[in-house]
């Protein structure tokens, strides 16, 4: 009897001592657990369920089976148009943006005077971002804006960029490339982390500059490049603001990004069921692209300590 009375609280004390660190840990991360539940898991599942319904904010969602999916895949020409625009935009911006960010980062890694000034200037447009930068580029690309004026100097008559079916999308891509500052700084940080002794090893072997670049720099910064490719692809696939502000998707559907179309369906026409189906499709496409990127990465991304 007496033993039972003394053991019971001791046992629970031991259990509590064992349990405590875990509870404390979960308590510290609880803010994230809440948002993960309510703002990630729940919406993620809910939008999947909504994909099979018709719901226009009045009444409750009505189950309609695969109607949305059928319409999205086979009947809605806007879906095909906007996917084409979005993929073209990815192809126009991601490879070129990656190349520019590497080039500029290498340039900013040179030991010449005034580098902080150049770094600041190159990064600044990415900071302004959003609507302001979109408006800025709207005037840069205007019919008698500075781009066309410069072209006129060399005898070329520039088009009305943003209002020309052929040129509207490349114009938006051009604008995107002028704001590659963030990616550039990531590569720059990676460049500054390349161990010097690797370069010295190449020098001892009598390697030239390009050998250093090809055999040391590029493999060493490849994880950072890979990260940029992943993130910019995901970001560009979801583009919205530039088309919304600069072209409103036009002329015609020349710059109708998938994100813009989805926004119109959801918050213009309030067709929440169909918009959810559209959202899930872009999610699956982005997921596929990301997996593809990881597959390709095996052939070109170098990780330290891996053979």
Judged by CB under 8 A, the chain residues 236 through 265 that form the site for other proteins are: 237-238, 240-241, 244-245, 259, 262-263
Report the alpha-carbon distance of residue 269 to residue 261 in Å, rounded: 11
- 290 part of the interface to other proteins, by CB under 8 A: yes
Q: Residue 290 contacts by C-beta under 8 Å, 6 or more apart in sequence?
A: 230, 233, 234
Residue 32 near other proteins by CB under 8 A: yes
- Count, residues near other proteins per rule CB under 8 A: 93
Among 86, 102, 280, 297, binds other proteins (CB under 8 A): 280
How far apart are the C-alpha atoms of 12 and 122, rounded to whole Å? 61
Q: Give me the sign of the Cα torsion angle 115, 120, 121, 123.
A: positive
Q: Which of residues 190-209 bind other proteins (CB under 8 A)?
A: 190, 192-193
Pair of tokens at residue 65: 């089976």
57 binds other proteins (CB under 8 A): yes
Decide: is 161 part of the binding site for other proteins (CB under 8 A): no
We find the least distance from the C-beta atom of residue 299 to other proteins, in angstroms, to be 21
Whole-number minimum distance, CB 3 to other proteins, in Å? 32
**Does residue number 148 form part of the binding site for other proteins (CB under 8 A)?**
yes
162 binds other proteins (CB under 8 A): no
Q: Which is nearer to other proteins, 2 or 151 (CB)?
A: 151
The per-residue DSSP string of 101-126 comes to HHHHHHHHTS--TTHHHHHHHHHHHH
Give least dist CB 9 to other proteins, A.
Answer: 22
Residues in contact with other proteins, shown as a per-residue x/- string from 103 to 142 under the rule CB under 8 A: -x--x--x-x-x---xxxxxxxx-xxxxxx--xxxxxx-x
| 267, two tokens | 């918050």
Per residue, what are the HEC states of 145-185? CHHHHHHHHCCCCCCCHHHCCCCHHHHHHHHHHCCCHHHHH
């Amino acid at each position: 009897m007496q033993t039972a009375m003394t053991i019971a609280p001791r046992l629970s004390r031991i259990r509590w001592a064992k349990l405590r660190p875990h509870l404390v840990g979960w308590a510290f991360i609880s803010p994230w657990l809440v948002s993960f539940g309510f703002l990630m898991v729940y919406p993620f599942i809910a939008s999947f369920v909504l994909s099979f319904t018709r719901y226009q904010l009045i009444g409750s969602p009505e189950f309609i089976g695969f109607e949305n999916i059928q319409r999205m895949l086979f009947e809605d020409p806007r879906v095909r148009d906007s996917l084409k625009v979005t993929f073209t935009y990815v192809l126009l911006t991601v490879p070129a943006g990656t190349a520019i960010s590497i080039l500029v980062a290498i340039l900013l890694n040179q030991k010449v005077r005034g580098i902080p000034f150049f770094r600041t200037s190159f990064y600044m447009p990415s900071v302004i971002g959003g609507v302001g930068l979109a408006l800025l580029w709207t005037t840069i690309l205007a019919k008698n804006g500075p781009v066309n004026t410069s072209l006129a100097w060399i005898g070329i008559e520039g088009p009305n960029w943003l209002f020309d079916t052929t040129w509207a999308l490349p114009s938006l891509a051009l604008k995107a490339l002028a704001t590659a500052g963030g990616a550039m700084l990531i590569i720059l940080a990676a460049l500054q982390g390349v161990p010097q002794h690797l370069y010295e090893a190449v020098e001892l072997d009598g390697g030239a500059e390009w050998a250093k670049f090809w055999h040391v720099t590029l493999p060493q910064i490849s994880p950072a490049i890979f990260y940029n490719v992943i993130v910019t692809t995901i970001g560009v696939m979801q583009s919205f603001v530039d088309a919304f502000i600069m072209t409103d998707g036009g002329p015609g559907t020349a710059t109708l990004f998938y994100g813009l179309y989805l926004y119109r369906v959801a918050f213009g026409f309030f067709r929440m069921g169909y918009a959810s189906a559209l959202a899930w499709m872009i999610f699956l496409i982005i997921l596929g692209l990301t997996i593809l990127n990881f597959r390709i990465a095996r052939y070109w991304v170098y990780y330290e300590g891996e053979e």
